[in-house]
């Protein structure tokens, strides 16, 4: 029998209509599973963007002991000037750091009252030559005489990445379970389609239809179910990205600092969302194809 695209499409949509409830369940499961995958990818991309954005402004602050001697302060100052890791530094003496403390805690007089000019630590605020050297600077200066602590954003980045990794593992774990459920439902749907058309299959075999002539409509049915679910999931993920972007914009408008917020970098760009959508569509077709292929191999004896 000759291959006919119109015949394949007709048989495919007949199968979908006859097993509408099973097909709908399979599509909904694909939507949920791939939406979870897409959301996890959005979070991952957002964290990657935020990390890169944050690294551009990475600086290191060396907090000296309040009672550090002049020789200790001068020694650290000399090392910072001579270090190739440091681009420049701004030194805050006791008066400067105390004024900074008062501005930061203007609404908390109890905190301010706990310090005097002489008991406020002096601070070296430094700009790094390479943001990636923050940890190296920390290791070099954190144990120097007179240094109380070295502060750099790397700790916050690590914390954010750790929390995000846990969330991604949870979301991807749930997505994996849903993908398996999608495969099972597509498998069952194709099995039902094969069972409902068993007489037609028998007739086609009698008149000389080839194996692939009989199998292709059933396999195409599974791929269409996967594709429909994946396209809807992609649209949902893109909508989620837009919602996140609007929430961030509204949050930034409420701020009073007037400075650009790092939060905006945690939202994936439209281009990145489109790429994630393409990945989901391909994944949906693959899931549908695998589920239908296994069902055809298992239950369609041609």
What's the pLDDT at 155? 60
What's the pLDDT at 210? 67
What's the pLDDT at 258? 40
Domain boundary among 121, 152, 183: 152
User: Which residues 6+ apart lie within 8 Å of 26 measured at CB?
Assistant: 182, 185, 186, 188, 189, 225, 229, 291
The pTM assigned to this predicted structure is: 0.60
- Number of structural domains (the chain) is 2
What's the pLDDT at 18? 67
What's the pLDDT at 109? 85
- Shared domain for 90 and 233, answered yes or no, is no
- Shared domain for 43 and 93, answered yes or no, is no
Other C-beta atoms within 10 Å of 17: how many?
Answer: 9
- Shared domain for 105 and 186, answered yes or no, is no
- Shared domain for 211 and 147, answered yes or no, is no
- Shared domain for 96 and 244, answered yes or no, is no
- Shared domain for 62 and 42, answered yes or no, is no
27, exposed or middle or buried, with CB in 10 Å at 0-12, 13-18, 19+?
Answer: buried
Q: How far apart are the first and last CA of the chain?
A: 14
Domain boundary among 91, 119, 152: 152
Mean pLDDT, consecutive 10-residue stretches, the chain (302 aa), reads: 59 67 79 85 77 65 92 93 90 92 85 89 88 83 91 67 73 77 78 72 70 74 85 92 79 46 68 90 88 76 55
What's the pLDDT at 272? 86
- Shared domain for 264 and 188, answered yes or no, is yes
Structure tokens at 232: 């809807």
What's the pLDDT at 300? 64
Domain boundary among 126, 152, 178: 152
- Shared domain for 64 and 48, answered yes or no, is no
- Shared domain for 28 and 165, answered yes or no, is yes
- Shared domain for 195 and 46, answered yes or no, is yes
- Shared domain for 62 and 50, answered yes or no, is no
Pick left, alpha or beta for residue 67 (phi over 0 → left; psi -120 to 50 → alpha; otherwise beta): alpha
Which CATH number covers residue 142? 3.30.70.3040
Structure tokens at 289: 């194809």
What's the pLDDT at 2? 46
- Shared domain for 266 and 177, answered yes or no, is yes
Q: Give the domain range for residue 288.
A: 5-55+157-253+260-299
């Amino acid at each position: 029998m000759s291959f006919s695209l119109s015949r394949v499409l007709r048989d495919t949509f007949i199968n979908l209509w006859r097993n509408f409830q099973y097909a709908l369940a399979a599509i909904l499961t694909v939507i949920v599973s791939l939406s979870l995958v897409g959301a996890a990818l959005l979070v991952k991309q957002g964290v990657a963007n935020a990390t890169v954005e944050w690294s551009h402004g990475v600086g290191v602050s060396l907090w000296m002991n309040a009672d550090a001697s002049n020789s200790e302060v001068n020694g650290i100052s000399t090392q910072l000037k001579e270090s190739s890791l440091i681009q420049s530094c701004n030194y805050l003496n006791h008066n400067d750091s105390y004024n900074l403390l008062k501005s930061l805690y203007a609404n908390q007089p109890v905190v301010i009252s706990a310090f005097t000019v002489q008991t406020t630590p002096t601070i070296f605020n430094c700009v790094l030559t390479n943001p990636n050297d923050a940890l190296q600077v920390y290791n070099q200066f954190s144990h120097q005489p007179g240094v109380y602590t070295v502060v750099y954003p790397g700790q916050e980045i690590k914390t954010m990445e750790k929390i995000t990794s846990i969330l991604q593992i949870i979301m991807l774990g749930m997505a994996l379970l849903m993908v398996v459920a999608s495969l099972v439902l597509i498998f069952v749907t194709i099995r039902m389609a094969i069972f409902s058309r068993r007489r037609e299959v028998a007739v086609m075999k009698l008149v000389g239809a080839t194996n692939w002539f009989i199998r292709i409509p059933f396999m195409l049915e599974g791929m269409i179910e996967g594709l429909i679910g994946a396209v809807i999931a992609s649209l949902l993920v893109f909508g989620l990205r837009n919602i996140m972007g609007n929430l961030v914009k509204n949050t930034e408008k409420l701020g009073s600092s007037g400075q650009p917020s790092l939060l905006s970098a945690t939202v994936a760009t439209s281009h990145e969302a489109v790429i994630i959508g393409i990945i989901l569509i391909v994944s949906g077709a693959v899931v549908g194809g695998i589920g239908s292929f296994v069902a055809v191999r298992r239950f369609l004896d041609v």
